[in-house]
Amino acid sequence: MKQQKFPCKGCGNGCFLEVAYEPEQICSIEGNRCENGRRYAEEKLLCQSVEVYVPTSDGRKVLLRTAEPIPLSKKAACLRECEGICMETPVIAGEVVLYDAAGTGVSLVAAETVI
């Protein structure tokens, strides 16, 4: 089990969280004065947005990003699914490139417009 201490940014209360966690779950959390603290700790320690640049058909690159943070345990699988993607231009920000990335139920979308 890992432990980490950090300031919470879930709301404006200014709490300082002390969190014990395993790779897939929060075991204990202290210092939060609202439920936003638990959500913030889970997102910071267990989930992460994935960002990756992929090529376009005309030789440029476009940034793709998961629409929401995904479990860290699924990050490598998501990046593997991005291998071989080549986008046709134009690419419009928000365009869904991959539905259900790595079986997470979260889409991979274009983070920028490339015309």
**Shortest CA distance to 68 belongs to which of 42, 43, 91?**
43
Q: Model confidence at 22, in pLDDT bands (50, 70, 90)?
A: confident
Kindly report the pTM of this predicted structure: 0.75
Q: Model confidence at 43, in pLDDT bands (50, 70, 90)?
A: confident
Decide which of 89 and 43 is more confident. Answer: 89
- DSSP 8-state symbol, 83: T
Do 53 and 64 touch, CB atoms closer than 8 A?
yes
Hey, what amino acid is at 12?
G
**Domains detected in the chain:** 2-46 (no CATH), 51-110 (3.10.530.10)
Hey, what amino acid is at 109?
V
Instruction: Give the tens place of pLDDT for each residue, 62-108.
Output: 999 999 999 988 999 999 999 999 999 999 999 999 999 999 999 99
